[in-house]
Amino acid sequence: MNHLGSLTPRHFDVLRAVVQNYIETGEPVASRTIARKYPMSPASIRNMMADLLEQGYLSQPHTSAGRVPTERGYQSYVQTLLGSRIVQSELDRLHVEIQKVATVEGRMERSSRLLTEITRNFAITAAIPNSTQTLDQVELLALPDRRILMVVITRDRMARNKVITVEDHISPEELASIRNYINYNFGGWALPNIHRELKRRFDLESAAYDAILKRVNLFYAKGLLDLGLMPEVHCQGAENLIGLDLHLTRERMRELFRALEEKKRVLQLLERFLEQRDGELAVQVGLSEVHPSMGELSLIGVRFSLPNGLETHVAVLGPMRMNYSRAVSAVLHVGQAFKSATI
């Protein structure tokens, strides 16, 4: 028997063959099946499979049965796919498709739909803003009953809106003056810097005599630039998990769907497992740490930061027996296309 750490490249050739065969058939893989694909004797393959079993890459459901991959075996197999090359024609096609939509929210939704169509799994896209977002412009629109719609658009092309009620009537001309003041003075500024500068101006003695600044102060006090920094999450393809052989009871399957409906749970999933450097694919096989019903699922994803103050995630969630090659390629291409379309 090999000792831990002494597996050879031929061991991993056998492991890849076992994983690929098991993904295709769902049946335990026997040494004679692998022997048909490799110029090695069944006895040599049996010895290698025994080494892989001992070191946790394979398991044996029954004494006389073949072997099946473990989480460690899948993880090792997928690592061999992470060097997948970008196909420029596919990247260009996806870029054009995603760029048809003008907003970040729309592009996220389009990206998750494309991922679902390509992989037939559960697709996740998320945009997590940070405090360095940059103001593009503010819009103020009068509504009935002294209500005003405040719209703040940041350079990441995300729009947040809030309706406030004011005590006095404010004319459209006054609203235009307030909007122009903010856009002229602060368009292109990072939000923390705007907050600091506005507070400085409000504290000046001259602010008491500046009619526009007094109005700006009113809107600021009602949360004009308090965006809340709420993440945007889009998921598609939950129906693709129905009918998979996940060995879940009906109740556990219901728990899985409830978990996937919770944006907080999905964000936890992304933040825990997509910790690689920007643009570097991450793979996690087995997700029971997040929820017991996810024990037989795998996550493949990528994260990257955009200069407009967004951290974005593009990921696919599917069964351990998913087509990893297709999923890895799809996440890589859609992620890069989303990034290039959004910068």
Q: What is the 3-state secondary structure (H, E, C) of the chain?
A: CCCCCCCCHHHHHHHHHHHHHHHHHCCCECHHHHHCCCCCCHHHHHHHHHHHHHCCCEECCCCCCCEEECHHHHHHHHHCCCCCCCCHHHHHHHHHHHHCCCCHHHHHHHHHHHHHHHHCCEEEEEEEECCCCEEEEEEEEEECCCEEEEEEEECCCCEEEEEEECCCCCCHHHHHHHHHHHHHHHCCCEHHHHHHHHHHHHHCHHHHHCHHHHHHHHHHHCCCCCCCCCCEEEEECHHHHCCCCCCCCHHHHHHHHHHHHCHHHHHHHHHHHCCCCCCCCEEEECCCCCCHHHCCEEEEEEEEECCCCEEEEEEEEEECCCCHHHHHHHHHHHHHHHHHHHC
Angle, alpha carbons 87-90-92 (nearest 5°): 105
- Per residue in 31-44, pLDDT (tens digit) is 888 888 888 888 88
Give residue 125's pLDDT. 92
Predicted pLDDT at 146: 87
C-alpha to C-alpha distance for 28 and 274, rounded to whole angstroms: 31
In this predicted structure, the answer to whether residue 4 has a pLDDT above a threshold of 60 is no
The owner of tokens 């697709």 is 123
Token code pair at residue 340: 């290039």
**The predicted structure's pLDDT at residue 131:** 64
Number of Cβ within a 10 Å radius of residue 257:
13
> Of 36-40, 65-69, 215-219, where does mean pLDDT reach its minimum?
36-40
87-131 pLDDT tens trace? 888 999 999 999 998 877 888 899 999 999 999 999 999 887 766
Average pLDDT rounded to a whole number, residues 22-35: 89
Hey, what domains does the chain have and what are their CATH numbers? 9-70 (1.10.10.10), 88-130+230-342 (3.30.450.40), 135-221 (3.30.390)
Please check the confidence at residue 330 and state whether its pLDDT lies above 90: yes
For residue 291, is pLDDT > 90?
no
Query: Could you tell me which residues come within 8 angstroms of residue 281 by beta carbon, excluding any fewer than 6 positions away?
Result: 82, 300, 301, 302, 328, 331, 332
Q: Give dist(CA 147, CA 160) in Å, integer.
A: 17
Q: Per this entry, what is the length of the chain?
A: 343
Tens-place pLDDT, residues 294-324 = 888 999 999 888 766 678 889 999 998 899 9
Rounded CA separation 273/270 (Å)? 6
Contact yes or no for 234/126 (Cβ under 8 A) = yes
- State the average pLDDT for the chain: 85
Name the percent of the chain lying above pLDDT 70.
94
- The identity of residue 267, as a single letter, is L
Pick the closest to residue 271 from 233, 313, 316 (CA basis).
313
pLDDT at 184 over 70: yes
Residue 2 has pLDDT above 70, yes or no: no
Only one residue has tokens 């003008």, namely 102
pTM: 0.72
pLDDT in tens, 121-141: 999 998 877 667 788 899 999
**Average pLDDT of the segment spanning 263-277:** 81
Residue 69 has pLDDT above 70, yes or no: yes
Matching residue, tokens 């978990």: 259
Q: Residue 299's closest CA among 279, 274, 316, 278? A: 316
- pLDDT of res. 289: 83
